[in-house]
Amino acid sequence: MDLADTAARLGVPVEDVERVHRLAGDRPSAPLPARADAPAILGRMRGR
């Protein structure tokens, strides 16, 4: 998927996606938590 596709899927300008891509550089991506852990993580983010 290219940057324009990513921008379209997110509904943001391609310039924003390009900026994030530049800022991220060659750093490895962060691992996603397990799907089963998502409700608890989101609850903590909301302060619940």
Q: What is the pLDDT of residues 12-27, one digit of tens each?
A: 999 999 998 888 887 7
pTM of the model: 0.50
> Cα-flanking dihedrals φ and ψ of residue 47, to 5°?
80, 25
Residue 5 reports pLDDT greater than 80: yes
pLDDT for position 8: 93
Cα 46 from chain centre:
18
Write the CA distances from 23 to 9, 18, 39, 48, integer angstroms: 20, 9, 29, 32
pLDDT for position 11: 94
